[in-house]
Amino acid sequence: MCPTTGLRIESHNREPKRRTKRKRSRQRPEQAQMIGKVIQGIYRVVATIGEGGMSSIYEAEDLRRGRRVALKVLHPALADDAEAVARLRQEATVVATIGHQNVCEIFDMGQIEDGSHFLVMERLIGESLADRIKEAGSLDFRELGPLVRQILAALEAAHDKGILHRDLKPANVMVGPYGEVVLMDWGVAKPIGETDLPPDDTLEDPPPNESATRKRLVQTAASSLIGTPAYMSPEQARSSADLDARSDLYSACVVFHELQTTRHYLDDVHNVPAMLLAVMQRELPGTANVGAWTNTHQGVPPAEYVHFIRHGMQKDPAKRWPSAQAMIDELQGALDGNIRVQCPMTFTKRMTREAGRFVDHSPRLAVTTFAIGGALSL
């Protein structure tokens, strides 16, 4: 998936064990004409990365600094579309305001000779979380906590500046070769409490060769809804005007759930109206329903992760985590072994952890205690 759009692209410089064959998408005539062009005497276009309903993404060389960048170029037909141009500019402003290592950086913006508007962005190397989910065998429960923690760090930085992402999904998260995470596509982000730009009546082009159900799960709606239906919070699905940070946090937990199970929790829903209804009404099963949480490649995820996700996906925002930082603290505690007791499994893990600490801190007393306990059991 491409930087900042979530569109289908060729993935470069992956780790060898995750490399898969991908079909090259056909270039549009205007895309082929862009190759070799030098924009504003600075950016020489060298390749097409991907494209969608409103923009194309190119790899380019910054001739001033000798580095590779990504160009997001609105289609020429949208050169005079005030809303499309406003969203592009708003994306640049939002990203500059956040200024965080886990947010895709934007360096410049301008216009091409044909009137098309463009952004100059960080050229990211790696693969999207959507790709990792499709390559389910590459997922490792031990990796997921640190990955989600970085997503939450990006959201915390945005929310601290009063900005909502509103379209968090696996396709909009890039993972680099060293496990670094970058949250992309801030095109529908907006300041909390401000009136949104008026929506148009189109849907973003879905990825090619996807099933009808999956297309509906990953499309970004741009009609009366802003965001991707399958990853919306209940209040976002209702088109509520007073969204706050907890809406993004719900979406983050939907992504975490999909990473854990390698399937979307609404994978049986086939159309947008039914999906929106399910988002508003369907509850996640608890830890007792093992089948609902089983990952066919690795089994059942850690119980503390299940409780973490369920807490973040409460239908009532007041019952969710209050902030991304609160989620980071809880997740870090689980990663460090400080597991809260919430079920028999977490109780067992917590007691095992405490027993280990007891042995580490008081080895002689531990030996004596265990010896006495063993003798009494005879």
Q: Give catalytic residues, as residue numbers.
A: 167
As a whole number of angstroms, the distance between CA 143 and CA 257 comes to 14
Residue 69 phi, psi (nearest 5): -135, 170
335, burial (CB in 10 Å: exposed 0-12, middle 13-18, buried 19+): middle
3-state secondary structure of 326: helix
β-strand partners of 103? 183
Strands 43-51 and 55-62: antiparallel
93, burial (CB in 10 Å: exposed 0-12, middle 13-18, buried 19+): middle
Q: Nearest to residue 152, comparing CAs of 207, 99, 92, 103? A: 103
3-state secondary structure of 92: helix
Amino acid (1-letter code) at residue 126: G
β-strand partners of 164? 190
Q: Which residues contact 289 (CB under 8 A, 6 or more apart)?
A: none
3-state secondary structure of 270: coil
Contact criterion met (CB below 8 Å) for 349 and 303: yes
Q: For tokens 């780790």, what's the residue?
A: 15
Contact criterion met (CB below 8 Å) for 154 and 185: no
Contact criterion met (CB below 8 Å) for 181 and 154: yes
Residue 239: both structure tokens together: 């088109």
Cα–Cα distance list, 275 to 122, 257, 265 (Å): 34, 17, 11
